Structure 1
């Protein structure tokens, strides 16, 4: 016979199961500190209060709304936690670029559009996009607006988007500009001011040293430091153009310093990644004389000298009266050829149809070689001339580089790799294609040409190609110490007993010598 269960026992089991289920639903979450029982109660109360249609289809949305309303933001007792991110801050900065500023009339705007040196960046980006080179359209347009902001704030005669150099923590957007005549700002802290400051600094210390030398003269060093190579003037050589950089479109443009030959020479011996901060010190071997701003300026000059090319015949040298043929090799200026009608696209793929239109940088760090020995002789005083004439140094051999408008085909190869690679943007429709030149020496440098239009751009890390991995040069060997000997070796002072013994030995030696002399004299007298 089946056993019958009492109704009271069934009720107790049901109550226990209900209590366990309710306790489970009342268990708080470790993430949101909420429980399912209270959450379902709130959702059901909202459903009964609002009674929406098709509630089963929107039950999940109601649950999310209830959870969102219960969320309490963590607030500090002193100040609120800011709700901002890097993307939000950048959007706030770029909002100024996208806003239309100034309430000028239509006539004034038309004159500004005609006279502005602002380049058509979007048109150039269209041609580079066909070759697979360039940035996104959104970023390109923001750079276009940033260049307009630079042109409006500076009295510029020429402005060009040079390119973008990548960094580990930030990037550099580079603009190549040229001021109008008489509008260029002078560099703060010139060399004359530095010289005067150095003369005044430590003047009292020098007087004290002279007084001390009169009493106890010190040996003077015969070492003469090598002469410093002077930097090139503005609008010449590596300082022909001025460069502004900014990390993101909309942020302020920062002017890079002028370039010195020491920066060029040191930049050729090192390879450093950019950080995106101009004031970062360059720690390298050999040491670099400056911070990241100077290193960036040096790399820009090197890339421009090696990769800025133009179609053959687009530029020509100006006809100057009384110019000799020997001066053609040192020409540093040219002008646009008005008779240039363009080069066929099929011929622009060949490197012989492209030329360099930026001066070559010599090993000295300048575009025009300067004779340091001659300059040093001019600086001698009259009293020093006679001493220096005895040892006249050999005349240094002038450094010569390829002149302007030299064909690209004459560039040196890199480990059996051609320095340039030319191609068409499309082989299917060559009638509407553009010719693209890619630099293998500086990866990231490109140039395009179609008809009478051409342009250069650089998008990369700012490093030159090297077949082998870069390894910094080893430090210089330590100098040998001076050989020690009895002439320079210090000895302890003798004691009193040692001095007396030495004195007695010297007296005995002297007496023996005198006795020998007396004996020799007696023998001579006997012989006589």
Structure 2
């Protein structure tokens, strides 16, 4: 019996192997044991037989582990995030896809006129001046502009620039529709008219239905109307997108109130057009409206051209005699060009070819004292008229094609800086004009060619530290007095005492009168 028991006793080494295997086979939180993981890893190594198995063993182990975590449709498990480059490539895939009908157009062999700008030529010129968008981004932006021009009836298209943001940037395209084909603008104007008409009808109905208290005599300042599409600050239409391949979004028209409010605040863009603009003074609109206002301000201050490149037409000369403001120009076919050295030496060889925005927020001043026929009829029925009101003084700004030498300095700092693109090879250098008022605005020109672009944060330079506008002081309270203050009712004793005092005062007055009459009679005797 002892001999049989000794022969059945297990070997200590086998026990150690079994215990170690049992330890490795313990399942983890995900239901997989280390033994199964090592077995699957070794099977993969033997199946693939990579030349550097030891070096990529850790990587293969991580991939095997992640494949188990992302397997199935369990949404409670954390999904493996796709690389940023893969997500970006997916968004850019549509740019490189050929649209329907493009192959047939190429087969015809006829090249139709297209408003698509030659962005590669622009990028080459900018690169010589030290402003580089990068070859890959330039190609993607050019393809994005191609999608914009192919899907909309445009007459003119230009890459305006890039406005940076804290969470995303805006690519800006400046376009102009063909005549009579801008349906979106007409629909927006009709909707605004309908809304204003509905609001007026609702107010009239409320006034008739309710017994309202007396109206306030306060009159808010008159609203300055916005400029029509195709004129002034709304001369061009602007489309933006946050990434090449994303959908182009049309920015709304800008109003004078938005431009005036944008001048008083400083705010970085977020990259979300629907983000609220929480500032003081308050800004009426979202980030899309603020972006449109800043684009108008930057364009009015930084879009410049060499002297003589643009000229006024013959019709403009007749309008000037009548006192009208010049707002259009045309290219000068006889422009011979200005040497690059002269462009750098003197700012008088550069001019603004975009209208100046007046303090009112418009390019053409609007007289708010002149009222429409409806407003005049309403005021005729009123009895009181304000005759003391003075008409506002007309605002006048620098005319179109004004030289840059007349621009105001910024706290003893010149508003522009002109330089050559290369001091080592000046005979082939370009003229680079940089705005100090709007950092990020560049104009690069050769003797007969120039380009404008803006790449910045959309914030104007301030020589002093920015301090927000303080809120106005609270209004003065009404004067307190017995006429408007509520008094406590007197008691019966107080009323009796007041009555007795009044009777005594009256009796004393009568006695005084009688004594005066007696004295007068004695004097007469």
Give the Cα–Cα distance (whole angstroms) in 2 for the partners of residues 201 and 51 of structure 1: 77
Give the Cα–Cα distance (whole angstroms) in 2 for the partners of residues 67 and 31 of structure 1: 16
For residue 199 of structure 2, give the secondary structure of its aligned residue in structure 1: helix
Which residue of the partner structure matches residue 283 of structure 1?
A: 278
* Farther-moved stretch of structure 1 (429-438 vs 268-277): 429-438
After superposition, what is the alpha-carbon deviation per residue over 1:464-514, rounded to whole angstroms, capped at 9, x for unaligned? 111122110111111222232233222101122222222233233333333
For residue 240 of structure 2, give the secondary structure of its aligned residue in structure 1: strand
Indicate if the aligned counterparts of 1:232 and 1:260 stay in contact, CA closer than 8 A. yes
Give the Cα–Cα distance (whole angstroms) in 2 for the partners of residues 151 and 454 of structure 1: 23
Give the Cα–Cα distance (whole angstroms) in 2 for the partners of residues 41 and 77 of structure 1: 25
* Farther-moved stretch of structure 1 (160-169 vs 56-65): 56-65
Which residue of the partner structure matches residue 207 of structure 1?
A: 208
Match of 1:391 among 367, 378, 388: 388
After superposition, what is the alpha-carbon deviation per residue over 1:308-340, rounded to whole angstroms, capped at 9, x for unaligned? 011111111101287165458821111111111
Indicate if the aligned counterparts of 1:264 and 1:298 stay in contact, CA closer than 8 A. yes
Per-residue deviation at 1:419? 1.2
For residue 481 of structure 1, give the secondary structure of its aligned residue in structure 2: coil
Q: Report the TM-score when normalising by structure 2.
A: 0.85
Give the Cα–Cα distance (whole angstroms) in 2 for the partners of residues 212 and 424 of structure 1: 70
Give the Cα–Cα distance (whole angstroms) in 2 for the partners of residues 349 and 418 of structure 1: 14
After superposition, what is the alpha-carbon deviation per residue over 1:207-258, rounded to whole angstroms, capped at 9, x for unaligned? 244x566xxxx4x433222111121111111011111111111111111111
Indicate if the aligned counterparts of 1:43 and 1:63 stay in contact, CA closer than 8 A. no
Which residue of the partner structure matches residue 313 of structure 1?
A: 308
Which residue of the partner structure matches residue 224 of structure 1?
A: 219
Give the Cα–Cα distance (whole angstroms) in 2 for the partners of residues 56 and 84 of structure 1: 29
Per-residue deviation at 1:84? 5.7
Match of 2:404 among 408, 418, 424: 408
* Farther-moved stretch of structure 1 (324-333 vs 96-105): 324-333
Assess, with a 3 A threshold, how the Cα gap between structure 1 residues 183 and 30 changes in structure 2: closer, same or farther. same
Which residue of the partner structure matches residue 96 of structure 2?
A: 98
- Check if 1:509 corresponds to 2:505: yes
Indicate if the aligned counterparts of 2:41 and 2:64 stay in contact, CA closer than 8 A. no
Give the Cα–Cα distance (whole angstroms) in 1 for the partners of residues 48 and 414 of structure 2: 77
Give the Cα–Cα distance (whole angstroms) in 1 for the partners of residues 189 and 283 of structure 2: 21
Per-residue deviation at 1:453? 2.1
Give the Cα–Cα distance (whole angstroms) in 2 for the partners of residues 408 and 469 of structure 1: 26
Indicate if the aligned counterparts of 2:444 and 2:450 stay in contact, CA closer than 8 A. yes
For residue 355 of structure 1, give the secondary structure of its aligned residue in structure 2: strand
Assess, with a 3 A threshold, how the Cα gap between structure 1 residues 16 and 349 changes in structure 2: closer, same or farther. same
Q: Which runs of structure 2 are paired with 1:52-63 in the superposition (5 Å)?
A: 58-61=53-56
For residue 178 of structure 1, give the secondary structure of its aligned residue in structure 2: strand
Which residue of the partner structure matches residue 123 of structure 2?
A: 125
Match of 1:484 among 480, 487, 491: 480
Which residue of the partner structure matches residue 296 of structure 1?
A: 291
Which residue of the partner structure matches residue 423 of structure 1?
A: 419
Indicate if the aligned counterparts of 2:251 and 2:292 stay in contact, CA closer than 8 A. yes
Which residue of the partner structure matches residue 359 of structure 2?
A: 363
For residue 112 of structure 2, give the secondary structure of its aligned residue in structure 1: helix
Give the Cα–Cα distance (whole angstroms) in 1 for the partners of residues 517 and 157 of structure 2: 106
Assess, with a 3 A threshold, how the Cα gap between structure 1 residues 14 and 348 changes in structure 2: closer, same or farther. farther
Indicate if the aligned counterparts of 1:257 and 1:297 stay in contact, CA closer than 8 A. yes
Which residue of the partner structure matches residue 456 of structure 2?
A: 460
Which residue of the partner structure matches residue 155 of structure 1?
A: 153
Aligned length: 508
Give the Cα–Cα distance (whole angstroms) in 1 for the partners of residues 397 and 48 of structure 2: 87
- Check if 1:242 corresponds to 2:237: yes
Per-residue deviation at 1:92? 2.3
Per-residue deviation at 1:275? 1.1
After superposition, what is the alpha-carbon deviation per residue over 1:42-71, rounded to whole angstroms, capped at 9, x for unaligned? 667778x7796xx99545556754664465
Per-residue deviation at 1:520? 4.5
Unpaired runs of at least 5, structure 2: 1-9
Per-residue deviation at 1:270? 0.6
